[in-house]
Structure 1
Amino acid sequence: MDYLQYFIFGIYPYIALTIFLLGSLVRFEREQYTWRSESTQMIHRGQLRLGSNLFHIGIIGVFLGHLGGLLTPMAVWQALGVTHEAKQILAMTAGGILGGLGIIGLLILLYRRFSNERLAAMTPMRDKVVLLWLLVTLGLGLLTIPLSMAHLNGDMMVMFMEWAQRIVTFRGDAAPFVIGSPLVFQLHIFFGMTFFIIFPFTRMVHVWSGFASVTYLGRAWQLVRPRA
């Protein structure tokens, strides 16, 4: 079990990130026609706007919250006067709200896809799997909140921050910071990392285009002149 845990939390993150980045690049280079969200609005509009908005607000908020919360050095939080306890309460509150919105949105989208025969038939299995995978991942995240409430000193949160920062800076001995944590945290992390492996093979790749579209804000105005 120790070897498996060391692999999952010490080596597996690099495998997941490599597949996530290289898989997305290869998908963009070789299958650009499939690089889209594959909207189904023309087939069935029911519940799409509500479910999609809740899902996107929730999942993007959760992702950015994890990114900032785990990778921001502790020295920065200390300089801002944010204690471990305050940061943990902020993470639980924001994560609970955004995670809840994401789950509600996912349930609406899943019901819409599985309850409509035409949508169910045209939706690839990989896209159904990724939605269900995200549902489980978010659910596990919400299940960590009661455990976090029982330990508000922030020690566990600091361990997860140390693990994440060691991973992204290629420092060794990251796994021990997670191995001693409760099982629900370990499952949440595993499901979260595995999502990055699934990502390049699903319609989720359109997220890259969403981030890239921000560059349009800095583009020069397009000049259109009448023919002479």
Structure 2
Amino acid sequence: MNVIDTLLWGILPYMVMLTLVGGLIWRYKYDQFGWTTRSSQLYESRLLRIASPLFHFGILAVLVGHIMGLVIPKSWTEAAGLSQHAYHFLALSIGSVAGVGTLVGIVMLIVRRRRTGPVFMATTANDKFMYVMLLGAILAGLATTVLSVFDPATVDYRETVSPWFRSLWILQPDVGAMAAASTSFHVHVLWGMALFAVWPFTRLVHAFTAPLHYLFRPYIVYRSRGNAPRAGSVNYRRGWEPISTQDRASSRRRTRPPRERSGSTRVK
């Protein structure tokens, strides 16, 4: 270990956590109207119908895989009867499918945003930066997966990255464990921390929103099914009395000019 390792793996993670939590609080307090995905489905939906589910379901699978690999200790899976070989086979097979699906989804989203005129016009510099960060994190994760299979010098992340990650939550960061990890894992973790640091300041913030109020909000009445109430049955404010169809017809008859008599006179 050296000073750089202490800064990167002992201090920087807590700075990222503070930035993430503080940024979410600031964004919610001062920019609630900007807490949105800014959906572009209105401009183009054919490609979005494929790319969006592919990306979102893929990223959820990747997230679950990361949580299981980082949180569950190696001794627990071995005690459950799952050998190290079987664990790595499942992790690599499922993780590769999820990672490739996520990569294909985000590439389709980028192509759609670039080639669809109205969608591209609605793309901000912040959105472009967000796509770069997401794409870099996905590529770095897939690179670590490939290297862990074909590079025998790659150190097992369950003996380096996972203990370091768990030690952060008890405020005793195991800097030595993370420093002993392979370079590919260093790049992946640093890029991931940078992504979480900028997360609150992009439209990725919508991932922390759960629309629970949607389940309990009342119905919105656009038009009543019943007839207009009879005059005198309800007291309305002056100037807001309802006019039924019959009232409108009688009003038109009163204001219609008298019809001309049959026949006409020809004038030279």
Structure 1 length-normalised TM: 0.85
Match of 2:260 in 1: none
**Letter of the aligned partner of 1:163 in structure 2?**
W
Describe how 1:147-186 pairs up with structure 2 within 5 A.
147-149=147-149, 150-151=151-152, 155-172=156-173, 174-186=174-186
- Which residue of 1 is the match for residue 249 of structure 2? none
TM-score by length of structure 2 reads 0.73
Which structure has more relative contact order (CA 8 Å, sep 6+)? It is 1
RMSD: 2.6
With 45-54 and 150-159 compared, the bigger mean Cα shift is at: 150-159
Larger helix fraction of residues: 1
After superposition, the C-alpha distances for 1:66-122 in whole angstroms (9 at most, x for unaligned) are 112201233432332223332222222222111111110010001111223332222
Question: What is aligned with 2:20?
Answer: 20
* Code of the aligned partner of 1:147: L
Question: For the Cα contact (< 8 Å) 2:147–2:154, is it kept in 1?
Answer: no
Residue 226 of structure 1: aligned partner: none
Aligned residues: 218
SS at match of 1:165: helix
Q: Which position in structure 1 is the counterpart of 2:37?
A: 37
**Contact 1:43/1:119 (8 A) holds in 2:** yes
Question: 1: CA distance between counterparts of 2:11 and 2:203?
Answer: 27
Alignment check: 8 A CA contact 1:88 1:152 kept: no
SS at match of 1:38: coil
Inter-CA distance 222–144: structure 2 relative to 1 (3 Å threshold): same
Identity among equivalent pairs (%):
28
2:90 matched residue in structure 1: 90
> How far apart in 1 are the matches of 2:157 and 2:216?
48
Residue 51 of structure 1 is matched in structure 2 by 51
The equivalences for 1:1-228 within 5 A come to: 2-149=2-149, 150-151=151-152, 155-172=156-173, 174-209=174-209, 212-213=210-211
Counterpart CA distance in 1 for 2:216 and 2:206 is 24
Larger radius of gyration: 2
Q: What is the distance in 2 between the residues matched to 1:109 and 1:70? A: 29
What 5-or-longer segments of structure 2 have no aligned partner? 220-268
- Residue 221 of structure 1: how far off its partner (Å): 10
Cα separation, 2, equivalents of 1:221 and 1:34: 22
The answer (yes or no) to whether the contact 1:85–1:154 under 8 Å persists in 2 is no
Contact kept in structure 2, 1:51 and 1:105, CA below 8 Å: yes
C-alpha contact 2:148 2:154 (8 A) present in aligned 1: no
Cα distance in 2, alignment partners of residues 90 and 73 from structure 1: 16
Distance 2:31 2:9 in 1: 32
Q: Aligned partners of 1:221 and 1:127: how far apart in 2?
A: 31
